[in-house]
Structure 1
Amino acid sequence: MSRKRSRSRVTPAQHRLMALAAVLFAAVVLTLAYRHIVRPPQPRPAQTDPAPAPAASVPPEEQDADQLALAAKAAHSVRKPDFYTVLVSGVDDGNGNSDTNILVAVDAQNGSIYGVNIPRDAKAVINGKNHKFNAAHNIGGMEQTAAVLSEQLGIPVDYTVEVSLRAFAALVNAIGGVDFYVPLDMDYDDPVQDLSIHFSAGMQHLNGEDALKVVRFRHNNDGTGYGSEDIGRMKTQQDFLRAVAKQTLRPANLTKVSEFARIFQKYVKTDLELGELAWFGQQAFSAGADNIQFSTLPGEWKSPYIYLDAEAVLELVNAHLNPYVEDRTAEDLRIPS
């Protein structure tokens, strides 16, 4: 009598073992891919003036003075390790000016991120003429905006990120909306822009479209509102960005990385490469929302501009934004009066 060959059966324990092996394999593959892609930002070629060669007719003591001056200048430009500045500008579709500008300082060595709003009405001199700061984007795009800011603050802008305001709404929707305390009653209508902003003060759950309205609000139809308009609006923007950061940087949202990437590819222009962007994202997750802070460049409104307070700006730069080892001095800043 022939004997039937028994079929091998996979036990539940073996199922679990194979599933675990698959997960571990996937983790290894993802880790290797992650390490291959993610990398710190690479230094970009810098345009520097060559050191002038001492003329033969210059006395030796003056040559030494020149060399000392060059050495002092070099020491003044020694950078902190893993410290980068990124200018993020929000651009309203159809409007050449930048609607929001935030210089972000990423101090990866100390695990902190600091963003400072640049008032859109801050006085700036561009091509020899007086303008509001947000006009720089209309004149020369992100390159011009970064150049104006770098000159005023006396520090380099390492990278730029231009974001369509639609990306803001898309991100808020992707994380399921944001709970946010609206600071005051908002009642504004602009038929030209087909824009209506109507919210009561208090805690609200905002979707992307509503969030965009809240952060763009400046004043009511009757002229009431923040009182300080742009300065008050920037405070609301900072508070909202904190709320967004707190919700976005939750571990659960790691599953939405592909959706975040799609939003980024569609609405963002930057001179950062993919691996560098991933590195900055890694720093944000590592730092956590509690180590991300915001403030505003200090100044005073005197129509038609906000005049920046040079002494207070210098203090803020050295405390939070300066990528150099040595403090900046008043001579490094070029703030128009």
Structure 2
Amino acid sequence: MSKKHRRRRSWGRTALGIVFVAAAVYAGAHCLFRAPEIAASSISAQEGPSQTSQSTPREDEAAAALAAHEERKPNFYTILISGVDDGNGGSDTNILVAVDAENGKIHGVSIPRDTKAVIAGKNRKINFAYNSGGASLLAETVGTQLGIPVDFTVTVDLDGFIALVDAIGGVDFYIPVNMDYDDPLQGLSIHYQKGQRHLNGRQAMEVVRFRHNTDTSVVAYGNEDIGRMSTQQEFLKAVAKQTLTLSNVDKIGQFAKIFQQYVDTDLTVGNLAWLGKEAISMGTDSITFSTLPGKWKSPYIYLDKEATLSLVNESLNPYAEDRVMADLDIPS
């Protein structure tokens, strides 16, 4: 059961856990559970060496090596979640999520928005990809840099994020810093004290969007984007902890309405339901997060190639064989 949702300015920050579970509750009631299917182009290399009479032994050996290098792990999927809120159409927040259903693990990797990338032959910040070509170009850019396919994308409208948080009754969350920020142009007025608080949807949106105080001499995170990504990751954990233990059967209609209105993805409802079911069975201890390693040198964050390769192989690689440096394409 595939749904094509209308394209809107989307904001995928911290919504994955809620979307999975909402879809699981909705689709489970309608018997729609279905494991995602990887596009044929992503697995064509697994068909093995050419058996044509024109192939040479060396060509067959190379084809066999390529097939082995691109043999996929069972029930392993990569999903890119992106959010837009910078007022320019770029994606301020990108999280690549690896779902290893075979081994019961989910790992999300935050991609700093200032990461250097080459887009249409020019050096750009990676969040420009969404501005230029939407989720598909962003997924292609991320996949090329990391040497792995991005199987699916999920984007969630800002209003949808608020509605989903409200639908689960809000979230208990520890706010890590004092927040004092006003932006009349974006309609933002963010004022919270450090400490534990129960956040409704709008409050949660404000907390995870916060980067720095209006008075920049009053230090909040110290490193704006890295600090904000850490808060987003911790919020996702809090959402998962609460959502994966809730019984939301009586909210099927509400979840369905929110899902149909706000979620834009190339996964079907049945796929999300299957992923939600798997997430529920894994439990919150199986969900971990990290950030792509790199260093800031104006105007970009330059990824640490060795550390990035290690992270890919430890947490993101959908292939049975480890990736090697030649698989990655990280600009210097």
Q: Quote the Cα distance in structure 1 between the aligned partners of 2:200 and 2:81.
A: 22
Q: Which residue of 1 aligns with 2:20?
A: none
Identity of aligned residues (%): 60
Matched, 1:307 2:327: no
After the TM superposition, which of the residue ranges 325-334 and 220-229 deviates more from structure 2? 220-229
CA gap of 1:324–1:35, structure 2 versus 1, over 3 A, is farther
CA gap of 1:138–1:113, structure 2 versus 1, over 3 A, is same
Counterpart amino acid of residue 209 in structure 1 = R
Q: Which residue of 2 aligns with 1:68?
A: 61
Q: Which residue of 2 aligns with 1:174?
A: 167
Matched, 1:85 2:78: yes
Matched, 1:229 2:224: yes
SS of residue paired to 2:204: helix
TM-score by length of 1: 0.84
Q: CA deviation at 1:54?
A: 8.8
Q: Which residue of 1 aligns with 2:3?
A: none
SS of residue paired to 1:138: helix
Q: Quote the Cα distance in structure 2 between the aligned partners of 1:165 and 1:328.
A: 35
- Could you tell me which of 296, 303, 311 is aligned with 2:291? 296
Q: Which residue of 2 aligns with 1:3?
A: none
1:201-280 correspondence runs (5 A): 201-223=194-216, 224-280=219-275
Q: Quote the Cα distance in structure 2 between the aligned partners of 1:267 and 1:94.
A: 19
Q: Which residue of 2 aligns with 1:186?
A: 179
CA contact (8 A) 1:123 1:132 kept: yes
Q: CA deviation at 1:98?
A: 1.3
CA contact (8 A) 2:162 2:205 kept: yes
Counterpart amino acid of residue 114 in structure 2 = D
1:129-181 Cα offsets, whole Å, 9 max, x none, are 11111111010001100000000000001111111122221111111111111
CA contact (8 A) 2:28 2:273 kept: no
- Could you tell me which of 306, 325, 329 is aligned with 1:334? 329
CA contact (8 A) 1:161 1:269 kept: yes
Q: Quote the Cα distance in structure 2 between the aligned partners of 1:55 and 1:81.
A: 32
Q: Quote the Cα distance in structure 2 between the aligned partners of 1:40 and 1:181.
A: 35
Matched, 1:286 2:254: no
Q: Which residue of 1 aligns with 2:92?
A: 99
Q: CA deviation at 1:53?
A: 9.3
TM-score by length of 2: 0.85
Q: Quote the Cα distance in structure 1 between the aligned partners of 2:40 and 2:72.
A: 15
1:75-154 correspondence runs (5 A): 75-92=68-85, 95-154=88-147
Q: Which residue of 2 aligns with 1:165?
A: 158
Q: Quote the Cα distance in structure 2 between the aligned partners of 1:75 and 1:69.
A: 10
SS of residue paired to 2:37: coil
- Could you tell me which of 30, 36, 47 is aligned with 1:41? 36
After the TM superposition, which of the residue ranges 46-55 and 284-293 deviates more from structure 2? 46-55
Q: Which residue of 2 aligns with 1:7?
A: none
CA contact (8 A) 1:91 1:163 kept: no
Report 1 or 2 for greater relative contact order, CA contacts < 8 Å, sequence distance ≥ 6: 2
Q: CA deviation at 1:304?
A: 1.3
Q: Quote the Cα distance in structure 1 between the aligned partners of 2:132 and 2:53.
A: 41
Q: Which residue of 1 aligns with 2:16?
A: none
CA gap of 1:254–1:33, structure 2 versus 1, over 3 A, is closer
CA contact (8 A) 1:93 1:165 kept: no
CA contact (8 A) 2:50 2:63 kept: no
Q: CA deviation at 1:89?
A: 1.0
Task: Mark the structure with the bigger radius of gyration.
Answer: 1
Mark the runs of 5 or more structure 2 residues left unpaired by the alignment. Answer: 1-24
